[in-house]
Amino acid sequence: MRTSQFPLNTVKETPADAEIASHQLMIRAGLIRKLAAGLYTWLPLGLRVLRKVEKITREEMEKAGALEVLMPALQPAELWQETGRWQQYGPELARLKDRHDRDFCLGPTHEEIITDLARNELKSYKQLPITFYQIQTKFRDEIRPRFGVMRCREFIMKDAYSFHLDQASLQQTYDLMYQAYSNIFNHLGLKFRAVIADSGSIGGAVSHEFHVLADSGEDAIAFSTGSDYAANVESATALIPEQGLAPPAEVFAKVATPGQKTIAEISAFLDVPAQKILKTLAIMKISVNEAGETAEEFYNLLLRGDHELNEIKTRKLLGDFRFATDEEIIQHHGCGAGFIGPKTDAKHGVIFDHSVKYLSDFVCGANEVDFHLRGCNWSADPKTQAFYEKALAENTFQDIRNVVAGDLSPDGQGEITLARGIEVGHIFQLGTKYSTAMKAGIINEEGKSQIMIMGCYGIGISRIVAAAIEQNHDSRGIIWPTKLAPFQVAICPMNMHKSERLKVAAEQLYQDLLAAGIDVLLDDRKVRAGFMFSDMELIGIPHCIILSDRGLDAGTFEYKARETKDNIECPLTELISFIQEKLH
């Protein structure tokens, strides 16, 4: 391409609503333009990158034996009603009616559609296992669309679905997909990790997320320093070493803590570290009985002051819940939040986080406004001891907190360290959730009908473009990994419009590079050299060839790699082989 025919829509100013580098650079480099919140147009330069992500993804899917299909974005409500997701899916599901007043949605994902296809098309076990995939537009009315194409309302996903007769076959395809995903991110030149992920509401199911590591990532990832254990903090197991309960050393006292409500405030006010404070949270467990009536039950959750509640783990344990209101807290504790502590005579449920087990000489709320207790111990008196021992006996010590740096790795090898990640892929063993609900059966070897087992595998194609920039940029712009770059090479002739022979040389070189199968951009604009260079740096072209009259005299060209500062001078005769070497 030539810049005269392929306009670069670069802009100088950083857009005011772009918080992170990739969003700013995608606008500034002219890759995307915003239409409305969470809706973006891909400009020609951006689309070239998007297509490269698609191409690599498609190649690996084909290699893994997946078959490409293309399903409609518009989906009838009936299928979603069959699985119950028409009701369950919240406002993220974009619902609409057609002219006949029938309900439809714009697909946020395609489990229902593919399961419908499978139950109609697959008849015999001989057709299994089979994996279908598509690269298609998804709609999710995200509550907070942000960071450009990173979290938007309309985006491109590669989604794949596999069908099996048994778990062993699902595991095989799952492993194949895990490998295909690793290949994709390696080809794209991204630093990534596969991490154990939350398997959602279906207990026991296996799931992994693929994260591109970047400080701006929305997810926290826990890694072990001593093994290859890696998990999303949402699902990383929090362990503390077994240890004895230290004998009481401090004098028990009720102390005035006027207005001191938060852990930080109490820690500062009483001069005790947060690890020595017991945090009591109050929630209402929500359950629905068979008659469809909702019941709510008050619970205390006990955590160490320096730890945070993990709501996903807690939901797995207790089911749905909400935080209690101040009135509800007062009703059970006699005072509002900020001063509550465990009640040994409580009628309500209590869940202890494991880390609370070995607390000694700790501080907790006194269940009285403006007072806390210090020098607390589980063995302080018979009532407290009985409360503690009942919890041990009833196994109400559970893992309900987020891991923190320095925790033991759950596999016993090394410690946990934390990093930020951008979720770019998610693979999942679905089991029979959708096939049971939609009666997707097949005739097995014994001639009997059997429900199929399913896996699903998603990749955020458009999010990958943003994630790649997040990981590869500097103050001057994007630094594309070669495989992702919209153009691999830029030719920048200096003052070409003043020199006919330079024009001829640039044109010849352009043709030669094209003939060698290289994605090349010839900058034939009548602009200053500095302007040209800063544009090429902003749009992140990995390799830049600078041609000048002076160079032609000497039989040389200048080469500059995007990621380095210095220019190298090379003989013109070796140019093609020089570039080919750089590209490999």
Site string for ligand ATP, 88-117 (x = CB under 6 A): ---------------------x--------
Residue of minimal Cβ distance to ligand ATP = 460
CB of 403 to ligand ATP, least distance (A): 18
Tell me: does residue 157 bind ligand ATP (CB under 6 A). Answer: yes
**Spatial distance between the Cα atoms of 500 and 187, rounded to a whole number of angstroms:** 41
**Spatial distance between the Cα atoms of 361 and 377, rounded to a whole number of angstroms:** 5
Contacts of 313 (CB under 8 A, 6+ apart): 235, 398, 399, 400, 401
CA–chain centroid gap for 172, Å, is 24
CB of 149 to ligand ATP, least distance (A): 6
**Spatial distance between the Cα atoms of 158 and 141, rounded to a whole number of angstroms:** 19
Count of residues that interact with ligand ATP, criterion CB under 6 A: 15
Site string for ligand ATP, 192-231 (x = CB under 6 A): ----------------------------------------
Beta partners for residue 115, in sequence order: none
Q: Which of 260, 408, 281, 393 is nearest to 332 (CA)?
A: 281
**Spatial distance between the Cα atoms of 348 and 329, rounded to a whole number of angstroms:** 11
Tell me: does residue 85 bind ligand ATP (CB under 6 A). Answer: no
CB-facing half-sphere around the CA of 59: CA atoms within 13 A: 12
How many other CB atoms are there within 10 angstroms of residue 448's CB atom?
9
- Our CB check for ligand ATP shows the closer of 212 and 363 to be 212
Among 426, 473, 483, 562, binds ligand ATP (CB under 6 A): 426
How many other CB atoms are there within 10 angstroms of residue 492's CB atom?
26
Tell me: does residue 455 bind ligand ATP (CB under 6 A). Answer: no
Tell me: does residue 140 bind ligand ATP (CB under 6 A). Answer: yes
**Cβ pair 286, 314 in contact under 8 A:** no
**Spatial distance between the Cα atoms of 237 and 243, rounded to a whole number of angstroms:** 18
CB of 203 to ligand ATP, least distance (A): 18
Cis peptide before 129 (omega within 30 of 0): yes
- Straight-line distance from the first to the last Cα atom of the chain, in angstroms, rounded to the nearest whole number: 22
- Our CB check for ligand ATP shows the closer of 56 and 545 to be 56
- Our CB check for ligand ATP shows the closer of 197 and 536 to be 197
Tell me: does residue 152 bind ligand ATP (CB under 6 A). Answer: yes
Alpha helices in 10-72 (DSSP H): 21-28, 44-63
Tell me: does residue 151 bind ligand ATP (CB under 6 A). Answer: yes
Among 85, 357, 401, 463, binds ligand ATP (CB under 6 A): 463
**Spatial distance between the Cα atoms of 280 and 300, rounded to a whole number of angstroms:** 6
Site string for ligand ATP, 337-376 (x = CB under 6 A): ----------------------------------------
Tell me: does residue 423 bind ligand ATP (CB under 6 A). Answer: yes
**CA 528 to each of CA 1, 524, 538, 541, 546: distance values in angstroms, whole numbers, following the listed order:** 20, 11, 16, 18, 13
Tell me: does residue 332 bind ligand ATP (CB under 6 A). Answer: no
Tell me: does residue 250 bind ligand ATP (CB under 6 A). Answer: no
- Our CB check for ligand ATP shows the closer of 193 and 374 to be 193
- Our CB check for ligand ATP shows the closer of 163 and 457 to be 457
**Spatial distance between the Cα atoms of 366 and 175, rounded to a whole number of angstroms:** 53
CB of 230 to ligand ATP, least distance (A): 16
Tell me: does residue 139 bind ligand ATP (CB under 6 A). Answer: no
Among 80, 104, 132, 155, binds ligand ATP (CB under 6 A): 155
Alpha helices in 64-197 (DSSP H): 77-83, 85-88, 111-121, 167-187
Tell me: does residue 142 bind ligand ATP (CB under 6 A). Answer: yes
- Our CB check for ligand ATP shows the closer of 112 and 523 to be 112
Residues that bind ligand ATP (CB under 6 A): 109, 140, 142, 151-152, 155, 157, 423-426, 458, 460, 462-463
